């Protein structure tokens, strides 16, 4: 029996007969089952972009830094942090899911001799006492292609015994000076090559003859056309005198490495690099050194836990609460490459302990040993934790930094283990239960003169005669050369 169609009804259209809605609609329809199966598309709650991602380090160029919130948040303010350059504002209100600030490029001096400097940018929104959104990105600052010529000058060796004969090699690096340019070399009262020629790789060399009598040679290299110049002081000492003079101010840069163990971590254990910058001041008398160390910055590495990524931040008051460590020690010799091995430093912050090295840290806020060291009205010192919000803690840091004295301007500990730093923390309240056990992994460390003496980098950017921690941090980024040993996040071989 043949089926007949009632009058007025039509066959459903075949696929081919359906109207052409365009490729986007067809794709959307085809994707519906998949979307339904997968649920909502996952995007980070907060993202951060920077444009351009590369900036000339001329102190003027600007990049737009945009934080975007995935979900609607009313009345939120995004806080921004940059490890270099200058943010037009450290906070911006979220409008239609976006907050924008500008990063003003760092000065070329902040690059030092590096071909580039990576600037880490981060953004955060505090939602509750215990919930914060974070995002990060990176910008690269490079030497500008235009601007005044620049010269860097080093002496090798940086000091010698007068009357020993031979010569000191002067190494030059230049920027924006053409190959073949003749540079003028002067060292009044000393015998030095009068010229150095810039090579294709932008370097140049000259020689300074070791004199018969002691004295400091101030060598100045200049390009006559532009007036660009650089200086270095080469020490020529009497036999038996130290070949270096550490008296002055240094930036101690140490990419400390730590291993964290806790059942709340995923993966467990985790390894991380926690860079620190310390302002070190020395007075050297003979081989005796009086030293003071002021902590300017410690970067807390993010960790991933079973409930997500956890980040920590400290305020300037936190760093100000860390006491200056005073030490006296004697160098074993005055020769170049002499061992630099000050005693370990032990710092307790947030409590007054009878025995700073071994006494157990307080675990309760009402322990009479607890002090409000950062003077914020809360016990101990306060750090901001993305999971637990404001955390009131007491911590103990035991650090050991050693190396070799390369010159009056530089001490380098380039052997893994030259830097060992461990931190023990006591958190008041429940969050303490999630604290990992921390142990130190060996790392490297360097101390670089930043007071402008002996031809060194001068970190006093505002020329007010004092060095602030902000100036020291900028200088550290410019002068540091060592990098931390490979540190796999899951600890790799260290497991």
Partner 1 sequence: MRGVAHSWLVAALLASDVLGGACTPPTRTPTVNQPPLPVLRAPASARVGEVLLVDGEASQDPGGALSDAHLLFGDGSDPQAGLSAEHAWQAPGLYLVELYVIDDAGASARARSRIQIDP
Q: How far is the CB of 144 from partner 1 (least distance, A)?
A: 13
Residues contacting 7, CB < 8 A, separation 6+: none
x/- track of binding to partner 1 for residues 433-462 (CB under 8 A):
----------------------------xx
Q: Which long-range contacts (CB under 8 A, 24 or more apart) does 429-435 make?
A: 429/365, 429/388, 429/391, 429/392, 431/385, 431/387, 431/388, 431/391, 432/363, 434/262, 434/264, 434/305, 434/387, 434/388, 435/262
Query: If binding is defined by CB under 8 A, does position 127 make contact with partner 1?
Result: yes
ω before 269 within 30° of 0 (cis)? yes
Task: Identify which of residues 105 and 278 has a Cβ nearer to partner 1 in the complex.
Answer: 105
Nearer to partner 1, 73 or 173 (CB): 73
**Tokens 């007010």, residue located:** 464
**Contacting residue, 44, 52, 53, 86, with partner 1 by CB under 8 A:** 86
429, 256 in Cβ contact below 8 A? no
Six token digits for residue 293: 């160390």
DSSP state of 109: G
Does 36 interact with partner 1 (rule: CB under 8 A)? yes
Residue 191 or 462 having the CB closest to partner 1: 462
Q: Does 73 bind partner 1 (CB under 8 A)?
A: yes
Q: What H or E segment, with its residue span, contains residue 29?
A: helix 23-38
Contact with partner 1 (CB under 8 A): which of 88, 202, 415, 423?
88
Question: Does 13 contact partner 1 by CB under 8 A?
Answer: yes
Which residue's CB is nearer to partner 1, number 382 or number 409? 382
Residues 6+ away with beta carbon under 8 Å from 240 = 334
Alpha-carbon distance values, 403 to 247, 295, 416, 429, 477 (Å)? 17, 19, 10, 40, 20
Q: In the complex, what is the shortest distance from the CB of residue 266 to partner 1, in angstroms, rounded to a whole number?
A: 25
Q: Which stretch binds partner 1 (CB under 8 A): 36-44, 247-255, 353-361, 394-402?
A: 36-44
CA distances from 449 to 282, 328, 457 (A): 10, 19, 7
In this complex, which beta carbon is closest to partner 1, that of residue 125 or of residue 338?
125
- Cβ proximity to partner 1: between 269 and 452 the closer is 452
| Near partner 1 in 43-72, by CB under 8 A | 59-60, 71-72
User: Which of the residues 128 through 157 are near partner 1 (CB under 8 A)?
Assistant: 128-129
Tell me which stretch binds partner 1 (CB under 8 A): 37-45, 46-54, 277-285, 294-302: 37-45
For residue 484 the two structure tokens come to 């931390």
**Ramachandran class of 458: left when φ > 0, alpha when ψ lies in -120 to 50, beta otherwise:** beta
29 near partner 1 (CB under 8 A): yes
Among 47, 49, 66, 87, binds partner 1 (CB under 8 A): 87
Q: Which of 41, 227, 240, 354 binds partner 1 (CB under 8 A)?
A: 41
- Please state, in angstroms and rounded to a whole number, the distance separating the CA atoms of residues 45 and 70: 5
Structure tokens at 150: 């620049």
Q: Is 375 in the site for partner 1 (CB under 8 A)?
A: no
- Between the CA atoms of 249, 251, 254 and 255, what dihedral angle is there, to the nearest 10 degrees? 180
> Looking at 1, 7, 32, 115, which residue binds partner 1 (CB under 8 A)?
32
Toward partner 1, which CB reaches closer, 145 or 330? 145
By beta-carbon proximity to partner 1, the closer residue of 186 and 376 is 376
Rounded to whole angstroms, how far apart are CA atoms 122 and 115?
A: 23
Q: Which one of 44, 54, 64, 91 is in contact with partner 1 (CB under 8 A)?
A: 91
The SS3 assignment for 477 reads helix
The site for partner 1, by CB under 8 A, has a size of 46
Does 308 help bind partner 1 (rule: CB under 8 A)?
A: no
**Cβ distance to partner 1 smaller for residue 213 or 466:** 466
A 10 A CB-CB count for 248 gives 19
Interface segment toward partner 1; rule CB under 8 A; list 10-18, 183-191, 203-211, 423-431: 10-18
Q: Is residue 464 within the footprint of partner 1 (CB under 8 A)?
A: yes
Contacts to partner 1 by CB under 8 A: 12-13, 18-19, 21, 25, 28-29, 32, 35-36, 39-41, 59-60, 71-77, 79, 86-93, 104, 107, 125-129, 376, 389, 461-465
């Amino acid at each position: 029996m043949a089926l007949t169609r009632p009058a007025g009804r039509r066959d459903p259209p075949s696929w081919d007969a359906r109207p052409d809605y365009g490729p986007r609609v067809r794709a959307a329809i085809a994707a519906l089952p998949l979307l339904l199966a997968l649920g909502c598309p996952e995007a980070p709650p907060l993202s951060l972009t920077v444009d351009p991602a590369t900036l000339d380090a001329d102190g003027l160029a600007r990049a737009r830094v945009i934080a975007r919130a995935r979900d609607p948040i009313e009345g939120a303010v995004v806080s921004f942090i940059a490890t270099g350059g200058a943010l037009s504002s450290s906070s911006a209100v979220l409008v239609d899911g976006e907050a924008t600030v500008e990063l003003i490029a760092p000065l070329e001096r902040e690059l030092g001799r590096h071909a580039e400097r990576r600037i880490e940018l981060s953004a955060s929104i505090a939602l509750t006492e215990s919930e914060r959104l974070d995002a990060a990105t990176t910008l690269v600052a490079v030497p500008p292609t235009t601007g005044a010529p620049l010269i860097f000058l080093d002496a090798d060796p940086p000091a010698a015994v007068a009357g020993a004969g031979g010569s000191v090699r002067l190494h030059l690096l230049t920027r924006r000076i053409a190959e073949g340019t003749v540079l003028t070399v002067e060292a009044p009262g000393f015998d030095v090559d009068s010229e150095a020629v810039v090579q294709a790789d932008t370097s140049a060399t000259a020689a300074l003859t070791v004199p018969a009598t002691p004295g400091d040679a101030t060598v100045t290299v200049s390009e006559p056309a532009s007036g660009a110049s650089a200086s270095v002081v080469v020490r020529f000492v009497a036999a038996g005198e130290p070949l270096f003079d550490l008296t002055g101010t240094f930036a101690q840069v140490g990419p400390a490495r730590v291993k964290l163990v806790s059942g709340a971590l995923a993966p467990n254990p985790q390894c991380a690099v926690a860079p620190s910058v310390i302002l070190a001041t020395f007075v050297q008398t003979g081989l005796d050194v009086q030293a003071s160390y002021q902590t300017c910055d410690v970067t807390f590495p993010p960790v991933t836990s079973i409930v997500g990524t956890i980040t920590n931040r400290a305020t300037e008051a936190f760093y100000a609460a860390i006491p200056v460590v005073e030490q006296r020690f004697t160098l074993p010799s005055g020769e170049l490459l002499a061992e630099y091995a000050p005693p370990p430093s032990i710092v307790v912050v947030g409590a007054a302990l009878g025995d700073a090295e071994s006494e157990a840290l307080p675990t309760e806020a009402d322990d009479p040993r607890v002090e409000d060291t950062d003077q914020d009205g809360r016990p101990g010192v306060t750090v901001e934790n993305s999971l637990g919000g404001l955390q009131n803690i007491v911590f103990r840091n035991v650090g050991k930094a050693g190396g070799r004295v390369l010159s009056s301007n530089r001490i380098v500990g380039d052997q893994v283990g030259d830097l060992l730093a461990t931190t023990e923390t006591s958190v008041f309240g429940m969050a303490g239960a999630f604290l990992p056990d921390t142990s130190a992994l060996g790392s490297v460390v360097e101390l670089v003169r930043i007071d402008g003496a002996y031809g060194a980098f001068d970190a006093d950017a505002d020329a007010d005669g004092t060095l602030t921690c902000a100036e020291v941090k900028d200088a550290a980024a410019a002068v540091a050369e060592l990098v931390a040993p490979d540190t796999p996040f899951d600890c790799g071989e260290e497991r």
